[in-house]
Structure 1
Amino acid sequence: MKRMINKTPGSVLRMSLGLLPFVLLLLIYMAGSDARLELNPDDKLLPSFAQMGDAIHRMAFEPSKRTGEYLFWADTGSSLTRLGLGVVIAALIGLLLGMLTGALPMIGAGVSPLLTVISLVPPLALLPILFIVFGLGELSKVVLIAIGITPFIARDIQRRTEEIPSEQLVKAQTLGASTLQILIRVVLPQLMPKLIDAVRLSLGAGWLFLIAAEAIASTDGLGYRIFLVRRYLSMDVILPYVAWITLLAFLLDIALAWLSRRLYPWNVQGGR
């Protein structure tokens, strides 16, 4: 008899098993929603899918009476812009810090302890300071995302840099390469797919900081809208917005994985 530990599902079974929990959750939600609405048609805690569809249709395809904007798409655009700017800044700074501290021992000895301490500071605790220093505009939100995920990216890139075989560096020096040439021609190309991997892993934290900043001080954005309508118990808006954020995060991760495979097919982890 074949042991369970040795059984591997085929592609069809794997997909079916992966979808099964989602189907069960949907069925449980539908049953709970129907039960609550049957007792109280005005119940807002578990809205039906029809109610959520109507709410999102209203926000996505009907202009706001106050601003004339299609709120759903305006919120999405604002949030993605803030997230994109914050992640790009964090990736650039993290790559530079990680590469220098990992490849140059003198810089690593001086910067690594500070980087470790900074990574232990809860970024959300800095939010009031950022609002005081940078104001309540877009800059403070972007800076929060950048500060929140830069240490993670930098420390991951540092470790990846230290994993580069020393033989490669020795060979480059034997051929007469300078420190700058070694960093650019030997180290950097090997770090680029690792950078994409680090960004993928940091996106979850990036979304967290984005939603927190938008909830506290913003006039648009996905996080702002969720916390705005909570006072009305508008679960028919909140739940679709949460699902939309999850879908956007999933699509961004898929896009980065595809980009890594396309640009760096030789990278084993990026090719997964």
Structure 2
Amino acid sequence: MRLINRNPDRSSRLFLVLLPFALLLFAYFSGSASRLAENPNDKLLPSAVQMADAVNRLAFSEDKRSGDVLFWKDSASSLTRLGLGLGIAALLGLVLGIAAGSVPLFGAPLSPLLAVLSMIPPLAILPILFIVFGLGELSKVVLIVIGITPCIARDIEQRAREIPRELLIKAQTLGANTWTLILRVVLPQLLPRLLISLRLMLGSAWLYLIAAEAIASTNGLGYRIFLVRRYLAMDVILPYVVWITLLAWLLDYGLRLLTRKAFPWYEGGKA
């Protein structure tokens, strides 16, 4: 049998999934043990015990200055900003995408505008956002919205253009007007794609959030990472990076599960 036609069974698949992570952990802790054996004060590759102590200090002990448990406060702050940004971007992207992809009069001006906006590096306009919206929560949420809305809208626009013309003609034959077409034909076809677009943009949303928090914030996961970097506190930075990765994976998994539960026909339709 050719290699391209071979599929792993369930146990083999689990082994192959875990293998790269096990190799990475082995390589890291081997390097950490080697460096710490030569220099116990080395901070570049902290041991598991050092990282556990840092997590225990930040996640289960109150900060002496503020009285807050910093790990959970940072997580709540970042997730609130991220949730607001994703929610607003999803709504705007859906509306703009449907308008550009389904209504030719709107598509003519919107389609090139969205193409241009999607090419602007969001981090390049971050200073402008801080000047216009200040250093508070609004500028961080706006950065996420500006960063991912054009991409979501262009994806939705493309999917709207791919809806079979026959469906729209049949609905109009039955007396559907523009609003009925959008609400009863176009929108149900695009909602599952919106969730997939959000999954694809999660990485970018986290990037914009961390960048905004690192530059101007008093709490948040990005703020904490860039605050402790001056002390070379890798025992704090690495657990925070792992935590951000886990949160991103959980969000991705939640959106994937929502797509399957809310739109079970979508996967079958693609097949």
- Please tell me the residue identity of whatever aligns with 2:37: E
Match of 1:118 in 2: 117
Q: CA deviation at 1:72?
A: 0.2
Q: Give the distance between the partners of 1:155 and 1:198, measured in 2 at CA.
A: 10
Alignment of 1:72-221 (within 5 A): 72-221=71-220
Q: Give the distance between the partners of 1:4 and 1:157, measured in 2 at CA.
A: 36
Q: Give the distance between the partners of 1:271 and 1:75, measured in 2 at CA.
A: 40
Match of 1:10 in 2: 9
Secondary structure of 1:63's aligned partner: coil
Q: In the alignment, is the contact (CA less than 8 A) between 1:91 and 1:153 conserved in 2?
A: yes
Q: Give the distance between the partners of 2:269 and 2:244, measured in 1 at CA.
A: 24
- Please tell me the residue identity of whatever aligns with 1:61: F
Mapped pair 1:256 → 2:255: yes
Secondary structure of 2:208's aligned partner: helix
Change (3 A) 1:270 1:213: farther
Q: Give the distance between the partners of 2:143 and 2:33, measured in 1 at CA.
A: 41
Taking structure 2 as the reference length, what is the TM-score of the superposition? Answer: 0.98
Q: CA deviation at 1:270?
A: 9.9
Q: CA deviation at 1:125?
A: 0.5
Secondary structure of 2:79's aligned partner: helix
Q: Give the distance between the partners of 2:202 and 2:59, measured in 1 at CA.
A: 25
Match of 2:242 in 1: 243
Q: Give the distance between the partners of 2:79 and 2:204, measured in 1 at CA.
A: 14
Q: Which runs of 5+ in 1 are unaligned?
A: none
- Please tell me the residue identity of whatever aligns with 1:200: R
Taking structure 1 as the reference length, what is the TM-score of the superposition? Answer: 0.98
Q: Give the distance between the partners of 2:151 and 2:264, measured in 1 at CA.
A: 25
Q: CA deviation at 1:190?
A: 0.9
Mapped pair 1:46 → 2:15: no
RMSD: 1.3
Q: In the alignment, is the contact (CA less than 8 A) between 1:193 and 1:270 conserved in 2?
A: no
Q: CA deviation at 1:228?
A: 0.2
Number of residue equivalences: 271
Secondary structure of 1:250's aligned partner: helix
Q: Give the distance between the partners of 1:268 and 1:54, measured in 2 at CA.
A: 45
- Please tell me the residue identity of whatever aligns with 2:61: E
Residues 156-211 of structure 1 deviation map (CA, whole Å, 9 limit, x = unaligned): 00011011111111011111111011101110011110100000000000000000
Q: CA deviation at 1:4?
A: 1.9
Secondary structure of 2:264's aligned partner: coil
Q: Which runs of 4+ in 1 moved over 4 A?
A: 269-272
Residues 205-237 of structure 1 deviation map (CA, whole Å, 9 limit, x = unaligned): 000000000000000000000000000000000
Q: CA deviation at 1:18?
A: 1.2
Mapped pair 1:65 → 2:98: no
Q: Give the distance between the partners of 2:25 and 2:202, measured in 1 at CA.
A: 26
Secondary structure of 2:31's aligned partner: helix
Change (3 A) 1:68 1:191: same
Secondary structure of 1:267's aligned partner: helix
Q: Give the distance between the partners of 1:126 and 1:80, measured in 2 at CA.
A: 22
Question: What is the percent sequence identity of the aligned residues?
Answer: 65
Q: CA deviation at 1:11?
A: 1.2
Q: Give the distance between the partners of 2:52 and 2:122, measured in 1 at CA.
A: 35
Change (3 A) 1:193 1:136: same
Secondary structure of 1:79's aligned partner: helix
Q: Which runs of 5+ in 2 are unaligned?
A: none
